[in-house]
Structure 1
Amino acid sequence: MLTPRHQALLATLAGMTVGVAVFGTVLAINRDNGDNTAAHVVTTPSQTPSTPGPTDGLQAASLQYVAQTFGTKQSPVTAEVPAGWVSSQAGTRPRFLDPTGVWQIRFDTRGSKQAPDAMVDARANSIDEQDLTVISRTDGTLVYTYTDKVRGPRMGMSRWIAAEGGRRSAIEITVGGRPQDQDALKAVLEHATDTLQLPPQDTGDSADPRPN
């Protein structure tokens, strides 16, 4: 016969056994129900910018254009440049910059008494920049790269539009950016060339303001 002390001890052990069993059952149920937090962590992917920034390549397809008029009242010049690119000056040598300052297009409407190919050679020999590399110099257009001390690798394309049967240059158009922008820079240059509207050319040599 069990004494009251033995009966109390057995009751305590039985209670502990039931408690352990219940705890194990609850733990198993929680696992089945997906309460394991580590297994259900959801990571939200970062958002990708929808428009190119200064660290991305300029995309020609994303550009829209607006007409700009510059030069002088007597000899106005019109050409289309990318929308949002603005110039801090008008006159004969405007330069239109995008808001980030990475890309630009500039014009020199004074022209020159030299032919476009001669201007290409003169510019190629006068550029004083680090790591200058001339990529091409054909059809009055100079394409080159160099390294800017502040902005790093840069690319330029300069084009001279022929006048008077190719004996002179009517206007210079230059676009600038980075090597990864090459296709878009070419598109900007071609669009400016195609939409260019020049005043009638004065074939006289007297009081000609154009540089040699």
Structure 2
Amino acid sequence: MLTPRHQALVATLAGMTVGVAVFGTVLAINRANGPDTPSQVVATPSTTPSTPGPTDGLKADSLTYVTQTFGTDKAPVTTEVPDGWTSIQTGARPKFVDPTGVWQIRFDTRGSKQTPDDLVTARANSIDEQDLNVLSRTDGTLIYTYVDKVRGPRMGLSRWIPADGGKRSAIEITVGGRPQDQEALKAVLDHATDTLQLPPQDAGEAGDTRPN
């Protein structure tokens, strides 16, 4: 049997053994995480602010205008259209389109023997578009919306300028865009009307080649 002295010695040796084992474990861990061991880097994805998209609609106060002349050599017509809108048609029926192709203004300088109100009625009855909705048809101006199969909801404003005291029409002006552009489209139409300069009209009906 072990004497009390021998039991104390055995306990001391056991404690030393456990201490050495723990020290060795800690030393191994420290070496594994030491300066010679590369650290694992966790990359955090960064978010890039999105670029603001186009405005929801055409803004009247952002438009500037330039003078354009069209028609024929014998009967030139001058008016102002939004700057940057280029003509893809010339002559008596020009059309000016913005760079995005969303907004446009076109003219028909051939005139007509019909009154502006008659032409408003005729145009309203002849438009063959999906979901056509005539919003207004007063004072020689037709305002309407429809749905284009490719471009979606659209809006048109057509105005016929009277001549000979309202007995016939001198020119048609039509602007087009989207329903949310209504205020700006009307501003473009009004500006073209206010700055319009027409040639002197021939007196009498003889030789008048205007469409009926």
TM exceeding 0.5 = yes
Bigger Rg, structure 1 or 2: 2
Aligned to 1:185: 185
TM-score by length of 1: 0.81
Aligned to 1:198: 198
Aligned to 1:97: 97
What is the one-letter code of the residue matched to 1:178? Answer: R
Secondary structure of the equivalent of 2:89?
coil
What is the one-letter code of the residue matched to 2:139? Answer: D
Aligned to 2:108: 108
Alpha-carbon contact 1:65-1:80 (below 8 Å) kept: yes
Alpha-carbon RMSD: 2.6
Q: Write the mapping of 1:60-139 to structure 2, written as runs, cut at 5 A.
A: 60-139=60-139
Counterpart CA distance in 2 for 1:42 and 1:91 is 55
Q: Structure 1 146/41 Cα, relative in aligned 2: closer, same or farther at 3 Å?
A: closer
- Which 4+ residue blocks in structure 1 deviate beyond 6 angstroms? 17-20
Q: Is 1:10 the equivalent of 2:19?
A: yes
Aligned to 1:147: 147
How many residues align structurally?
A: 193
CA deviation string 1:46-81 (max 9, x = no partner): 2214x54xxx32222222211110001111001111
Counterpart CA distance in 2 for 1:88 and 1:19 is 80
For structure 2, list consecutive stretches of 5 or more residues without a partner in the other structure. 1-8, 31-40
Q: Is 1:46 the equivalent of 2:50?
A: yes
For structure 1, list consecutive stretches of 5 or more residues without a partner in the other structure. 23-35
Alpha-carbon contact 1:113-1:167 (below 8 Å) kept: yes
What is the one-letter code of the residue matched to 1:47? Answer: T
Secondary structure of the equivalent of 1:165?
helix
Counterpart CA distance in 1 for 2:181 and 2:10 is 95
Instruction: Give the fraction of aligned pairs with identical amino acids, expressed as a percent.
Output: 67
Alpha-carbon contact 1:164-1:203 (below 8 Å) kept: no
Counterpart CA distance in 2 for 1:170 and 1:90 is 18
Per-residue deviation, 1:87:
1.4
